[in-house]
Amino acid sequence: MNIVMKFNTLFLAFFVIFTATNCEKINKNKVKEILSIPIIKPANTHLNSLEKENRLLKIDLYIQEKRTLEEYKFNFDKAKVFYKDLSVYDIDVLETLIPQNAPEFIHFYSLSYPETGDIQLYNKLNLLFFDAALNDMGELLKLFSNLAEFVDGEYAESFFDEIDLIIERNTTDFCEIFKDLSRRSKLRLIEKDIFYCE
């Protein structure tokens, strides 16, 4: 990674955390610490969907296509314990934590509430989702793009800034996955598709 990319990544990370925490004072060392956490792909990167599903079930996590809200909450409860001190993140596990519908997003966003949430986990996962989508790892580009369907408020403001950066870096891949996004995500990202893909 060259110096410009490192600077851009650090700047984007600072921006994401700054925006996500209601403009509170940010510990710059915490941003650097989160960015230094490697995101790994499984040893066998050519897993078919059945092999991937079996792998996730072995570590007791529910996959996104077949889970209920309770199962999504279970994934988060497990992640809270599993990720507290972990220094490596698995891309398949991150995919199980990204919200796929409005109730899941509400649960994810509730982590940012100071009195009842887990702001540290929220910031860490938010940054890792963004970084994995920016680097087109696993299915995170598509999953992150599909957040467009239900994001709102201050999260939406930073999301649409982030998605521009992600699309600029992964234009070809975004244009390929656009057709697979949800109908509402397509409606909210149609200008990006017209600008970048046509």
- Write out the chain's pLDDT in tens, 198 residues: 445 444 445 444 444 444 444 444 445 554 445 445 444 444 444 445 555 554 444 455 666 566 889 988 888 887 776 666 555 567 878 888 899 999 999 999 998 998 888 888 888 888 889 999 999 988 999 999 999 999 998 899 999 999 999 999 999 999 999 999 999 999 999 999 999 998
Tell me the residue range of the domain where 183 lies: 27-197
Is 61 part of any domain?
Answer: yes
List the structure tokens of 161: 């800034």
Is 4 part of any domain?
Answer: no
Provide the pLDDT for residue 147. 95
Provide the pLDDT for residue 55. 47
Is 12 part of any domain?
Answer: no
pTM reported for the whole predicted model: 0.70
Number of domains in the chain: 1
List the structure tokens of 113: 């509430």
Specify which residues 90 forms β-bridges with. 40
Angle between helices 102-110 and 119-134 (to 10 degrees): 130
Is 48 part of any domain?
Answer: yes
Is 16 part of any domain?
Answer: no
Is 7 part of any domain?
Answer: no
Provide the pLDDT for residue 25. 41
List the structure tokens of 13: 């990370």
* Angle ∠(32,34,35) on CA atoms, nearest 5: 65
56 and 63 Cβ atoms separated by less than 8 Å: yes
Provide the pLDDT for residue 145. 96
List the structure tokens of 88: 């490596």
Is 1 part of any domain?
Answer: no
Is 86 part of any domain?
Answer: yes
